[in-house]
Amino acid sequence: MKYASQVLLASCLIASVGVQAADLTIQLNDVKPLGGKVMVAIYNSAEQFLKKPFRGQVVTADEKVILIKDLPAGDYALAVFHDVNENGKMDINTSGIPLEGYAFGNNAEGKMGPPSFDAAKISLPEAGLSTQVSLK
């Protein structure tokens, strides 16, 4: 019985160590004062990048700092856009060029389309991270 209780105690201690939650602070630069909302999508895998965000947040366009709380430490790609008309989507022209401000993590740029997950990827340590993006 003594051995079983030691194993149970050790298991509880190991389970309580778990993954630490970290905070991500995103400084928004070059948001034009046109009103609307800024939408942030956080992706945790290349397979889901620009398809299904792991986490998202919407703020008013006058907010210049976004705080995303309690993310597990790890690698994430960021995509941000300024939804000026608040229709919930990135407006594009007939050639597919965005009509609203946008940015990606690391201020990554793609060639003839969006950047890759790896180009837009940031590494979030357990201590948290502060990063900046500049909308185009």
Q: Is residue 3 part of a domain?
A: no
7 lies in a domain? Answer: no
In this structure, what DSSP letter does residue 5 have? Answer: H
Domain that holds residue 75: 20-134
- What's this model's pTM, rounded to 2 decimal places? 0.81
- Is 77 inside a domain boundary? yes
Q: Whose structure tokens read 């194993």?
A: 7
Compute the average pLDDT of residues 40-62. 96
Number of domains in the chain: 1
In a domain, 61, yes or no: yes
For CA atoms 67, 73, 79, 83, the dihedral sign is negative
Q: Per the domain annotation, does 84 fall within a domain?
A: yes
Q: Please report the pLDDT score of residue 19 as a whole number.
A: 57
Q: Quote the pLDDT of residue 125.
A: 96
Question: What's 115's DSSP letter?
Answer: P
Per-residue pLDDT for 130 more than 90?
yes
